[in-house]
Amino acid sequence: MSRGKLWSARGAGALVGAAVLLVSLVPATPAAANSTFQAATLNILNELNQADFVHDLELITAKADLVGLNEVGNRKAYLQNWAADNGWWLYAPEPTQAANEALLAKKSVFDVLDKGSNFVCDTNGPGEVPPARYNNWVRYRHKATGRSVYHLNAHANASIENNGRPEDLPRTACAEQQFQALKNLAAAKKDSGQVIVSGDLNVDFSADRAYGYQKFPWKVFEANELPNLRSCYNLYGEKGNGTHGNRHIDYIYFWKRVEEHREMWMTDYNIVSGTNSDHNGVVAAFTISS
């Protein structure tokens, strides 16, 4: 090699070495920080005595940061005092039928940004059974990440399906209307935050998926392409023996986006047994990015 070429090669090598050294001295850009929280749902039987109600309330709130409750409208005054004393936000709007679907959030984890209650239908008239149906929602700010998180909570009419097949009853038509309204509400909120949906939908997951009735939750919420709602059972299978007897009818969903736009995702869930109610609870774990 000639002297000129030798010095050229040495010079190039020095430049490369300097570049490598410079890169090694520049700190790597930190990955986006992730945070975790838990969301839960529990239908607490409204016929429980006070001690049994408090047991179930404390059982589910000990396991989650967001909680959707069903059948608790008559306990609103107690829930208001309990939430104030224990560091929780409570949303249980009027009338009592709307307050049945109460929402709780830990003040240490979330701030409240907005809230609302949407009347859906009333099969039998005020004060009758089943009561009027409402879809309640709260928009929170997740303190650790600053992201908006919506929690939607609902309770559909009972006795609306038989092994996934719809019963031809007015209450079934009301539930069908509620499912679509809930899906529309989730779709309307998704552009301004991450969306979680919870509640007792009174339709068994596996029976619904097998039969595939067009107006029940599997078809309305899940049997479609992303982005869309996805339930804990869809993502991680049916755990335990059920949430009401042998049926999985209490759900936690989230609005699952395509991967490149995903900012929150469900990572697992568990069935919570040991309740005094006729329902088990469900707790799902979420990760959310900054």
In 3-state terms the chain splits into helix, strand, coil percentages (rounded to 5) of: 35, 35, 35
Contact 104, 77 (CB under 8 A): no
Q: Are residues 89 and 143 in the same domain?
A: yes
Contact 152, 185 (CB under 8 A): yes
Q: Are residues 153 and 60 in the same domain?
A: yes
Q: Are residues 127 and 265 in the same domain?
A: yes
Assigned token pair, 248: 């999985």
CATH number at residue 88: 3.60.10.10
Q: Are residues 226 and 176 in the same domain?
A: yes
Task: Record the pTM.
Answer: 0.88
Q: Are residues 118 and 230 in the same domain?
A: yes
Distance between start and end Cα atoms, the chain? 56
- Measured over the CA atoms of residue 237, residue 242, residue 243 and residue 246, the dihedral's sign is positive
pLDDT value of position 215: 98
Q: Are residues 223 and 118 in the same domain?
A: yes
**Domain range holding 13?**
1-30
What DSSP string runs through 9-78? HHHHHHHHHHHHHHHHHSPPPPPPPEEEEEEEEEE--TTS-HHHHHHHHHHHHTT-SEEEEES-GGGHHH
Q: Are residues 131 and 4 in the same domain?
A: no
Query: To which residue do tokens 């090669």 refer?
Result: 9
Q: Are residues 60 and 202 in the same domain?
A: yes
Q: Are residues 283 and 207 in the same domain?
A: yes
Q: Rounded to an integer, what distance in angstroms lies between the CA atom of residue 1 and that of residue 12?
A: 15
Which candidate, 257, 255, 286, 284, places its Cα nearest to that of 271?
284
Q: Are residues 181 and 245 in the same domain?
A: yes
Domain count, the chain: 2
pLDDT value of position 32: 54
Contacts of 14 by beta carbon, 8 Å cutoff, 6+ apart = none
pLDDT value of position 130: 87
Q: How far is CA 248 from CA 164, 238, 252, 263, in A?
A: 12, 7, 11, 28
Q: Rounded to an integer, what distance in angstroms lies between the CA atom of residue 169 and that of residue 30?
A: 57
Contact 200, 155 (CB under 8 A): yes
- Measured over the CA atoms of residue 282, residue 192, residue 36 and residue 117, the dihedral's sign is negative
Q: Rounded to an integer, what distance in angstroms lies between the CA atom of residue 185 and that of residue 178?
A: 10
Assigned token pair, 3: 């002297």
pLDDT value of position 24: 40
Q: Are residues 104 and 176 in the same domain?
A: yes
pLDDT value of position 127: 66
pLDDT value of position 153: 99
- Provide the 3-class DSSP secondary structure of residue 259: helix
Say if residue 130 is preceded by a cis peptide, omega within 30 of 0: yes
Tell me the pLDDT of the chain (290 aa) as tens digits. Answer: 444 444 444 444 444 444 443 334 444 433 457 999 999 999 999 999 999 999 999 999 999 999 999 999 999 999 999 999 999 999 999 999 999 999 999 999 999 999 999 999 998 866 667 899 999 999 999 999 999 999 999 999 999 999 999 999 999 999 999 999 999 999 999 999 999 999 999 999 999 999 999 999 999 999 999 999 999 999 999 999 999 999 999 999 999 999 999 999 999 999 999 999 999 999 999 999 99
Q: Are residues 60 and 104 in the same domain?
A: yes
